[in-house]
Structure 1
Amino acid sequence: MHLDNEEEEYRMTLSRFESMLKTNKVLFFDSEEFESIILHYLDSGKLTLAKKALKLGQEQHPNSTSLKLVEVELLIFQNKLEAADKLLDQIEEIYPTNEEVYIQRSTVYSKKGNHLDAIESLKKALKLTEDLADVYSLLGMEYLLVDEIELAKDSFIQCLENDEEDQSALYNVIYCFDFLSENNEAIDFLTAYIDRKPYSEIAWHQLGRQYFALKNYKKAVWAFEYATLIDDQFLGAYLEKGKSLEKLKKYKEAIENYVVTLELDDPTSYVLLRIGSCYEDLNNFPQAMEYYKRAVHEDPSLDKGWLSLTDLSIKEEKYDKALMYLQKAINIDEFNDKYWLRYAVLNKTLLDFKEAEKGYKKAAELGSHIMEHWIGWADTLYVLGDYEEAINKLLQVMDFEADNADILYRLSVLFFTIENYDKGSEYLEIALTKNFEKREIIKTYFPIQWESPFVQNTIRKFTKQ
């Protein structure tokens, strides 16, 4: 009731002031009323009205320290930092024990990038203020700006000890724990906080996040469950709970939680994608396809959505559709080597070896050096009849995999193919030495060469040794 009266008085003060401006009548307001009027306009970005209120306020209360400090805020808002500094000097000379002077000076220092000076100024304010929570919060932010994360964490903890309702400080202290990779310490801190404030949905949510980071998904679900029980509109908790349930392979329950987020707010492509993934894990491909399509409809630039459609189409052996979806993903992120590798493999499946070779080449240009894909590239070049280039690719990858039998057997086949029988026999003997069982590679992938006398003679000669 008391707060309602204050709010009503505040509205009446603003109404009286604006009425005064319209009628040009001069009405009296005390300095606190002027202060609230100026800060209201400042918060609303109405600089002209804030200046007008300050001018009138100082005319009626020329010796008001609070209005001088509001003037400092106005100067800082306008980025007139030197003027703010000079005014603070004047105020400090008269009222050296006013904590607001040091708080505002810390803001000036911070805006100038002098964060260490801002910290020292806030330390002075701490000795003078009764509102410790606000000053500790400001101090924590300054420590963050100079990467003193441990000190920032301590400051935010002090802030919460003086005001347990400060949710920003709660988020900030957990940010510090996260930054320092102190998940267990964060759990201890949150558990103690929840003991004091068991109905803090924010604390339960953050506790769930810590358990998720430690891959303790059962505990994460437990914590997120409490957050949603306290606040059944807590969208973020339902989302995180869904992710945790996915990790536990409880896909139906995960879907239920994701669906709640769709009911609480407009659908997001991320949530639609997660639901699609759950249905895919449940082998319900039609439903998975529907949600993947909804995801890309919601956000056509979501390359992961197009990729999910690609992979699901491959599972269903609908390769032409898969290629169409994959092209959409590539158009969005043409510098993703993984997409080009998929492009190569998919075109290979469709027996379009020229396009497959294009995919392998593009992936390599983008930095992909996965051995199996370079082997696939060489196999594609072999099919295209570009034997010399296929040999070059295999020799390049041998710099990293000198003893790889898959490469050695292929090199032997390629050298036999270009009628370099000495090299072919040399590489085949090395391959047989490294891994005799893998000679089946030739039989499986290169049946014509398998039947050649050069291959058979080399194998016979090797087995007689």
Structure 2
Amino acid sequence: MKKWFSLQPLLLVGLFCWLYSCRSGGEKESPEKILSSPPYAGLTDSIKRFPQNQDLYLERAILLSQNNRHELAAGDYKQAWELKPEEHIALQYVSNLMLVNHPKEAIDLLKECIVKWPANPDLHRRLSEIYAQIGETQKAIGQYDEWAQQDSTNFEVWYEKGALLTQLKDTPAAITALEHAYRIAPINYNGLALASLYGATLNPKVITICDELLRKDTSDITDDVLYLKGSYYSDTKQYDKALQMFNQCISRDWKFTDAYIEKGIVLHDLKKYDSALSVFTMAATVTNTSADAWYWMGRCYEAMGKKDKALENYERAVALDKNFEEAHEGIRRLKK
């Protein structure tokens, strides 16, 4: 199970769950009783004295949200917004609306805000996220297209569109969007995201991008770049180059578990089972919860005819990852 680098978590599709607090026993408390009791009583009294004070409503809304009183918080967010419409309050209000399962109201509010503040990227981003969250994927993509028409030189538009398209498994379109982002701003995370998709599709451009990133001598991403190059060389059966890259990764960071795994797979493919087993053992030593390490140890033992040890390692892999189908298949194969 090869590791390709995921795009930064700018997209929050599927992040929100519907949070409701369940109170056991007794009659449900009225909103008035809740708001007049600690920890809200002081703010409630202040609101009664200063009903036009936006900050008081916002402070109480945040406190209610922190205590999972999202339905009650909605009223305060709404009041704060109506007293003084501001971008940051709109975004908080939108998050609350999603928590209480009112996506239509959230969408309408964001559309209103985009008309007022078209240059605010957070508004465009949030609207696209909500469209994607409720399954309106074409509208989500369309929102990025609309944003791009307004600000085509903003690399974030293209980066985040690429992130969304990657989640939707439209890899060619994602690559196109990320190429735009990288041309506008050839920075590390644009380059890594694009290189990862190039690598996943066996596009040799992955080497070009990786070499560009390495020439910048950005030591904070060097290991990842070397890993991407090694993975591409491995997948295209350029095994000597792959081993060179993975060895460099390991020499720079001896805890780079995925580099051990990929190096071991190369050695396994070359039928150098003893050497591969040694590498996978080291991977399991570095990260003993790596299901991949135990699975590949099993593959080596199986290839060496040591079925008992192979079965033991497949079972260890499954214990760590119950959905590891290849390990399950190995167990079924050896138990026939």
TM bracket (short chain): 0.7 to 0.9
Which one of 201, 204, 207 corresponds to residue 255 of structure 1? Answer: 207
**Gap runs ≥5 in structure 2:** 1-36
Question: Could you list the per-position Cα deviations for residues 420-458 of structure 1 after superposition, in whole angstroms to 9, with x for gaps in the alignment?
Answer: xxxxxxxxxxxxxxxxxxxxxxxxxxxxxxxxxxxxxxx
CA displacement at 1:237 relative to structure 2:
2.0
**1:242 pairs with 2:198:** no
What residue is the counterpart of 1:383 in the other structure?
Answer: none
Distance 1:181 1:244, change over 3 A: farther
Q: How far off is 1:354 after superposition?
A: 5.0
- 2:192 is aligned with what amino acid? L
State whether residues 268 and 298 of structure 1, in contact with CA within 8 Å, keep that contact through their aligned partners in structure 2. Answer: no
How do 1:293-442 and structure 2 match up within 5 A?
293-334=247-288, 339-353=293-307, 355-360=309-314, 362=316, 373-374=330-331, 376-377=333-334, 393-394=335-336
Cα deviation digits, residues 314-370 of structure 1 (max 9, x gap): 123322210111112333554565544432331233344553354355457666786
2:67 matched residue in structure 1: 112
Conservation of the 8 A alpha-carbon contact between 1:183 and 1:213: no
Distance 1:198 1:364 in 2: 47
Q: Following the alignment from structure 2 to structure 1, what is the Cα–Cα distance between the partners of residues 319 and 52?
A: 66
Number of corresponding residues: 295
Normalized against structure 2, the TM-score is what? 0.73
Unaligned runs of 5+ in 1: 1-80, 378-392, 395-465
What secondary structure is seen at the aligned counterpart in 1 of 2:282?
Answer: helix
Conserved? CA contact 1:85–1:108, under 8 Å? no
Aligned partner of 1:162 in structure 2 is 116
**TM-fit CA distance, 1:309:** 0.9
Instruction: Work out which of the residue numbers 106, 116, 141 in structure 2 matches 1:187.
Output: 141
* 1:15-94 correspondence to structure 2 within 5 Å: 82=38, 85-86=41-42, 89-90=45-46, 92-93=48-49
Cα distance change on mapping 1:150 and 1:311 into 2, 3 Å: farther
Distance change >3 Å, CA 376–CA 259, structure 1 → 2: same
Residue 82 (structure 2) pairs with residue 127 (structure 1): yes
- Once the two structures are TM-superposed, the CA of residue 154 in structure 1 deviates from its matched residue by 4.4
The CA deviation string for residues 120-166 of structure 1, in whole angstroms up to 9 with x for no partner, is 1121223221x342321110122344455554454444433332333
Tell me how far 1:241 sits from its aligned partner: 1.6
- What residue number does 2:54 align with? 99
Looking at structure 2, the residues matched to 166 and 92 of structure 1 have their Cα atoms a distance apart, in angstroms, of 34
Q: Is the 8 A contact 1:217 1:247 kept in 2?
A: no
CA distance in 1 between counterparts of 2:51 and 2:43 reads: 13
Rate the CA distance shift 1:144–1:306 in 2: closer, same or farther, 3 A: farther
> Is contact 1:92–1:101 with CA below 8 Å preserved after alignment?
no
CA contact (8 A) 1:150 1:176 kept: no
Amino acid at match of 1:320: D
Counterparts of residues 205-220 of structure 1 (less than 5 Å): 205-220=159-174
Provide the C-alpha distance between the structure 2 equivalents of 1:361 and 1:205, rounded to a whole number of angstroms.
41
Residue 113 of structure 1 and its aligned partner are, at CA, apart by 2.7
Q: Which has the higher helix share?
A: 1
Q: How far 1:297 sits from its partner (Å)?
A: 4.2
How much does 1:203 deviate? 1.1
What residue is the counterpart of 2:97 in the other structure?
Answer: 143
Q: Secondary structure at the match of 1:266?
A: coil
Distance 1:180 1:271, change over 3 A: farther
- Residue 158 of structure 2: aligned partner: 204
What TM-score do the two structures reach when normalised by structure 1? Answer: 0.55
Asked if the contact 2:284–2:294 (Cα under 8 Å) also holds between the matched residues in 1, the reply is yes
Q: Distance in 1 between matches of 2:104 and 2:189?
A: 27
- The corresponding residue for 2:16 is none
Report deviation, 1:119.
Answer: 1.1
Distance in 1 of aligned mates of 2:239 and 2:55: 63
Structure with bigger RCO (C-alpha 8 Å, 6+ apart)? 2
Whichever residue aligns with residue 290 of structure 1, its letter is Q
How far does the alpha carbon of each residue in 1:39-97 deviate from its partner, in whole angstroms, 9 at most, with x for none?
xxxxxxxxxxxxxxxxxxxxxxxxxxxxxxxxxxxxxxxxxx9577525633542x423
Any conservation in 2 of the 1:133–1:160 contact (CA below 8 Å)?
Answer: no
* Aligned equivalents of 2:128, 2:301: Cα separation in 1: 48
Distance 2:312 2:51 in 1: 74
CA change 1:209–1:150 in 2 (3 A) is farther
